[in-house]
A and B are shown apart, each in its own frame.
Chain A
Amino acid sequence: DTGVSQDPRHKITKRGQNVTFRCDPISEHNRLYWYRQTLGQGPEFLTYFQNEAQLEKSRLLSDRFSAERPKGSFSTLEIQRTEQGDSAMYLCASEGGPATQYFGPGTRLTVL
């Protein structure tokens, strides 16, 4: 199965530390999205890449967050100086047909 994969699946960190998450999309998909989901809420959009170009960023993406997609393959999402409010599930999705986004299993972040 060559679905979307994410690593790590769980991350526990202390407030103020930096964390980095990785997403490997479905290989033939050019578009890659990052979302954040908190308990009892639907996923909220963070940012979006077409190939290596970051085309859109949500206002949720503060300057402590940065995302990259070198060479248009995998993507990384880094959070600097983590805060307790960053605790959430971070989801990656890649887009196949029009608007059909396939999600990975997510990375669950806990900031102590």
Chain B
Amino acid sequence: QKEVEQDPGPLSVPEGAIVSLNCTYSNSAFQYFMWYRQYSRKGPELLMYTYSSGNKEDGRFTAQVDKSSKYISLFIRDSQPSDSATYLCAMSEQAGTALIFGKGTTLSVSS
């Protein structure tokens, strides 16, 4: 079992839909949780960062962390074609250590 599991998709939705992306993990020591967006042949772009449990909202994006279930989510409201990309979850035990990534979920938003 990998430390971080993420369904690779692909996930296809119409413009305006609410998108839910998820990751599960096995290491209970993870404290920092990130979501990155990666366009084809580009570097990952940091979208959301959460420390420990709870929710965080930034515009159309909401990140949730449930440490009791070892489950994190990213919600995208009013999805746009420009949101079409691969979304990577990442986590670490502490600052100054390597991030452990999921495989990424490929999202396609059609207009």
Contact = CB atoms under 8 A, between A and B. Distances in A.
Counting contact residues on chain B (CB < 8 A from A), the size range is: 20 to 34
Contacts of A6: 43
A45 B98 contact: yes
Contact of A33 (B42, B51, B98, B100): B98
Contacts, number: 75
Interface in B13-54: 32, 34, 36, 41-46, 49, 51
A-side binding surface: helix, strand, loop or mixed?
strand
A103 B100 CA distance: 14
A25 interface: no
A27 to B, nearest CB: 18
Interface in A8-63: 31, 33, 35, 40-45, 48, 50, 55-56, 58
Interface of B: 4, 6, 8, 32, 34, 36, 41-46, 49, 51, 88, 90, 92, 94-104
